[in-house]
Amino acid sequence: MPGVRRGLPRWLEVMMAAGGLVVVSPILLVAAVLVRLSSPGPVLFRQVRIGRGGRPFVMLKFRTMGLATEGPNVTAGGDPRITAVGRVLRQTKIDELPELWNVVRGDMSFVGPRPEVPELVNLEDPQWKEILQVRPGITDPVTLALRNEEDLIAEADEDAEMYYKEFLQPFKLRGYVEYVENRSAWGDMKVLVRTIVAVVLPASNRPPSLEEIRRASGRGAENP
């Protein structure tokens, strides 16, 4: 699409994702067994997300919640729906490894704005229109900064979905737009390296404070 800055070449992403699936296959196997043994239900969690051009696709993750649980689309730290195994998978980000298959399929990129569920996407919003010019990704600068997103939502001590819509999502959208407008293959490689470092050394990644998120959302004065 004219005017869209390119990230990593598609052929390189396919090679990296396919190779990654082979390399982490022992981890995938162990995780699958633990999920299966920890609670009844499927190993994989399939959820419709909005991809490039506003097209829906099914994103794959390891299931981290009980099968018969209902609740908001937004998850806060300490959510009782999360199983014990699921909590470990989320903390280590192992639950997201099946998304490598989404990269192989072309639904996602390694680096790009994180895809949202349809209920949280406004296709008429100019920010969303700009963001959805590119494939969503497994990681990006905003997601990296918000690696502890669930803890931030819990710390806010407000209704999880309300806080997400009013503060956290506007913070994300601004960051996604900045990423899309400045993306490059070299920049994406640096984000991938930083993501790996953050997974191995979580303390190396300083998250934004609640006040920084409120200010960035443009609503800090309303919620001092």
Q: Please check whether residue 121 is in contact with residue 48, taking contact to mean a CB–CB distance below 8 angstroms.
A: no
- The pLDDT, as a whole number, for residue 69 is 57
- The pLDDT, as a whole number, for residue 115 is 97
- pLDDT-derived band at 105 (thresholds 50, 70, 90) equals very high
- The pLDDT, as a whole number, for residue 49 is 97
Query: How far is 17 from 23, CA to CA, in rounded Å?
Result: 10
**Angle, to 10 degrees, between the axis of helix 10-23 and the axis of helix 25-38?**
60
Q: What pTM, to 2 d.p., does this model score?
A: 0.88
Residue 132 has pLDDT above 80, yes or no: yes
Tracing tokens 């989404």 back to the chain, one arrives at: 102
In Å, how far from its chain's centre is CA 73?
A: 13
Query: How far is 162 from 150, CA to CA, in rounded Å?
Result: 14
Lowest pLDDT segment from 81-85, 172-176, 181-185, 211-215: 211-215
Q: Which of 114-123, 153-162, 202-211 has the largest mean confidence?
A: 114-123
Angle at 37 between CA 31 and CA 42, to 5 degrees: 75
- The pLDDT, as a whole number, for residue 223 is 42
In Å, how far from its chain's centre is CA 145?
A: 11
Query: How far is 172 from 163, CA to CA, in rounded Å?
Result: 13
DSSP state, residue 218: T
- pLDDT-derived band at 165 (thresholds 50, 70, 90) equals confident
Burial per residue of 8-28, b for 16 or more beta-carbon CB atoms within 10 angstroms, e otherwise: beeeebeebbeebbeeeeeeb
Strand-pairing partners, residue 111, are: 139
